[in-house]
Amino acid sequence: MAENQPENAVWWKTSTVYQIYPRSFADTNGDGIGDVRGIIDRLGYLAHLGVDVLWLSPIYKSPQDDNGYDISDYQDIDPLFGTLADVDELITKAKEHNIRIIMDLVVNHSSDEHPWFVESRSSKDNPKRDWYIWRPAREDGSRPNNWSSFFSGSVWEWDEHTQEYFLHLFSKKQPDLNWENPELRRAVYDMMNWWLDRGVAGFRMDVINLISKVPGLPDGEQEPGHEFGNGFPLTANGPRLTEFLQEMHREVFAPRKEAFFTVGECPGIRAEYATEVTNPDNAMLDMVFQFEHVGIDQGNGKWDELPFDLLKLKESLGYWQTQLGEAGWNSLYWNNHDQPRIVSRWGNDTEYRELSAKLLGTVLHFHRGTPYVYQGEELGMTNFPFTDINQFQDLETLNHYREVVAHGGDTAAAMNGFRKFGRDNARTPMQWDGSVDAGFSKGTPWLAVNPNHEHINAAQQVGDPRSVFHYYRRLIALRKTDRVMAFGDFEMLLPSDSQVYAFTRTLGDEGLLVLANWSNEAIERTLEFARADMVTVMHNYEDAPAFDSALSLRPWEVVVYRW
Ligand code: ISL
Ligand code: CA
């Protein structure tokens, strides 16, 4: 383990990060959209929960094509969310609660309405032409390559004015920045320094492993009958990524004395490279978000549902625990604004909602790494009961639906995929109380509130010591004081058991044993693990069973013991 770092550099190893999707958190001016003042108003709630860091999804100036992941000014706040003065106030007031703020850094692409792109597209000899990725058509007039965009269609958009295509891995309103250009990189580092000088504690870096494109942008593999090829495996983790991340570290983070941390979103990163990236000796990033475990129930593309298989989950998370055990550091998450709600996905969101929410929280938080809680996860919020395509707002969902319709595909199957995996499941408003619109807004929320807010809400749970909220409070508090939970070695037990998730954490002669029944049935097992000195640390049923190697667990029961 990387204990070679000074203690003050590792504050984030005993921290819990809370992700806020500002648009859906708390609306103070009745326009139906959450805002920065709404976050300020709820700092007391967040301090009570005990989180150390808030990651804010983008609040910068943006046309909101992808809810702010399309930025037109990196150094200003969109009036939808408030002002720079509001953010300064948030930073100051959060600090009074010992909470740090980190910003979402979206620099794989900008908005097409960013002045940089407006200039870049104005002429072929504009000084900023090379800040984006422009290519002529191929000899036969076709697009420069066959890649499909993450949000459907081609990655290439034709520009009439200059008669060239520009690259966009995401929507056509999100042109990719050209990291090969040193002036562009300089502008990004200046902007990052400006935010750090303002008092933010670091960044979550959006798709940062896509910034170094594969040279020559060759065609991707194309399945027969498919209109596009897959460029993603070619262009993720590109050849200059290490160099760019090290340069960024040198230009932005290395000269600073104050505490900060970085987490890079890295779809398609492998554990070997993630170890390199998060090894402090290599001066790149503190942590990455990897996607392996959240892909285990998706087959051919994200809409293709495979049955949940606990063995696959254990194999994946166990592997990352071991791989990043010595030198790197893991980030731990079930949820974010792109993923469906975890109790609906892998728990039981009906009969065992509270028990399974607590089990999921326990299993995740007792792994080694820094845990992330996505707004509402601490209440056991669920997916939304979508019945109609018109209830969705997310461009990923709507674009895919249009494509299915255009190809005469199966719209009912597509709807099932959206219900299961659609990003709007995570984006319905935070459920503050049981009143109309859940206390989120006095106006009409931009996305409907889940009808179950009448019984799943913060007001009810804050007042109930047995709630999911209070259970999360205990998990978050424990990480700050329990060195075994934060730093102990991880070992998976019962690796081929398809119902039980069991593991130990050990540090010196202390240890933790986590036993979780990930199923609707009571189970009995014999554990090859015996100690007389076991004390119960956490449990999700009222009465905690004393440790016994003849293990018997009720549905969705989890118990943690210490020796
Ligand atoms: O959401 C996904 C699965 O459908 C991912 O493919 C996701 O698009 C990918 O992880 C990148 O996500 C990030 O960048 C996107 C933005 O839409 C997401 O919200 C953001 O988290 C483009 O900026
Ligand atoms: Ca508002």
Find the CATH number of the domain harbouring 537: 2.60.40.1180
How many Cα atoms within 13 Å fall on the side-chain side of residue 412? 0
The domain boundary residue, chosen from 445, 476, 507: 476
- Residue 450 maps to a domain: yes
Total count of domains within the chain = 3
Say which amino acid occupies 166. Answer: F
Residue 159: its H or E element:
strand 156-159
The domain boundary residue, chosen from 410, 443, 476: 476
The domain boundary residue, chosen from 145, 167, 189: 167
Question: 28: left (phi > 0), else alpha (psi -120 to 50), else beta?
Answer: alpha
End-to-end CA separation in angstroms for the chain: 21
Top mutation candidate among 149, 206, 372, 418 for ligand 1, by most atoms within 8 Å of CB: 206
CA distances from 35 to 23, 31, 77, 78 (A): 6, 10, 10, 10
Torsion 400-226-109-320 (CA) sign: positive
Q: What is the pLDDT of residue 108?
A: 98
- Residue 205 maps to a domain: no
- Considering the domain architecture, whether residues 308 and 403 belong to the same structural domain is answered as yes
- Considering the domain architecture, whether residues 457 and 558 belong to the same structural domain is answered as no
- Considering the domain architecture, whether residues 70 and 119 belong to the same structural domain is answered as no
Is 69 close to ligand 1, i.e. is its CB under 6 Å away? yes
Is 232 close to ligand 1, i.e. is its CB under 6 Å away? no
- Considering the domain architecture, whether residues 322 and 352 belong to the same structural domain is answered as yes
Q: What is the pLDDT of residue 4?
A: 40
Q: Helix, strand or coil for residue 90?
A: helix
Over the stretch 489-516, which tens digit does the pLDDT of each residue have? 999 999 999 999 999 999 999 999 999 9
Using a 10 angstrom Cβ sphere, with 0-12 exposed, 13-18 middle and 19 or more buried, the burial of residue 226 is exposed
Collect all residues with Cβ–Cβ distance below 8 Å to 508 and sequence separation of at least 6. Answer: none
- Considering the domain architecture, whether residues 304 and 319 belong to the same structural domain is answered as yes
Nearest CA to ligand 1 atom 10: 267
Say whether pTM exceeds 0.95: yes
8 Å CB contact between 25 and 42: yes
Collect all residues with Cβ–Cβ distance below 8 Å to 436 and sequence separation of at least 6. Answer: none
> For the chain, how big is the Rg over CA atoms in Å?
24
Q: Helix, strand or coil for residue 136?
A: coil
Across all residues in the chain, what is the average pLDDT? 96
Residue 402: its H or E element:
helix 395-406
Edge-to-edge strands, sheet with 500-507: 489-493, 500-507, 510-517, 558-562, 535-539
Q: What is the pLDDT of residue 530?
A: 80
Separation of CA 338 and ligand 1 centre (Å): 6
Average pLDDT over residues 133-141: 97
- Considering the domain architecture, whether residues 435 and 358 belong to the same structural domain is answered as yes
Query: Locate tokens 């707004």: which residue?
Result: 375
The ligand that comes nearest to the alpha carbon of residue 39 is 2
- Residue 6 maps to a domain: no
- Considering the domain architecture, whether residues 421 and 311 belong to the same structural domain is answered as yes
**Which tokens belong to 480?**
């700050």
- Considering the domain architecture, whether residues 374 and 419 belong to the same structural domain is answered as yes
8 Å CB contact between 415 and 304: no
Top mutation candidate among 69, 111, 148 for ligand 1, by most atoms within 8 Å of CB: 69
- Residue 66 maps to a domain: yes
Q: Can you give the residue range of the structural domain that contains 531?
A: 486-562
Say which amino acid occupies 439. Answer: G
Nearest ligand 1 atom to alpha carbon 108:
23
Over the stretch 166-220, which tens digit does the pLDDT of each residue have? 999 999 999 999 999 999 999 999 999 999 999 999 999 999 999 999 999 999 9
- With a cut of 70, say whether residue 9 has pLDDT above it: no
- With a cut of 80, say whether residue 337 has pLDDT above it: yes
- Considering the domain architecture, whether residues 394 and 491 belong to the same structural domain is answered as no
Find the CATH number of the domain harbouring 368: 3.20.20.80
DSSP conformational letter for 498? S
Of 129, 256, 242, 248, residue with least CA distance to 201: 256
Average pLDDT over residues 60-76: 98
Find the CATH number of the domain harbouring 122: 3.90.400.10
- Residue 381 maps to a domain: yes
In DSSP terms, 551 is beta-bridged to 525
CA distances from 190 to 143, 194, 251, 282, 541 (A): 34, 6, 9, 22, 52
- Considering the domain architecture, whether residues 349 and 451 belong to the same structural domain is answered as yes
**Which tokens belong to 471?**
């259970």
- Residue 433 maps to a domain: yes
**Which tokens belong to 373?**
């809680």
Is 338 close to ligand 1, i.e. is its CB under 6 Å away? yes
- With a cut of 80, say whether residue 550 has pLDDT above it: yes
Over the stretch 289-304, which tens digit does the pLDDT of each residue have? 999 999 999 998 999 9
Over the stretch 239-270, which tens digit does the pLDDT of each residue have? 999 999 999 999 999 999 887 999 999 999 99
- Residue 281 maps to a domain: no
Nearest CA to ligand 1 atom 1: 338
- Considering the domain architecture, whether residues 465 and 336 belong to the same structural domain is answered as yes
- Considering the domain architecture, whether residues 372 and 270 belong to the same structural domain is answered as yes
What phi and psi values does residue 359 have, to the nearest 5 degrees?
Answer: -65, -45
- With a cut of 60, say whether residue 2 has pLDDT above it: no
Of 315, 320, 325, residue with least CA distance to 289: 320
In sequence order, what DSSP letters do the residues of 506-535 get, joined into one string? EETTEEEEEEEE-SSS-EEEE-S---S--E
- Residue 176 maps to a domain: no
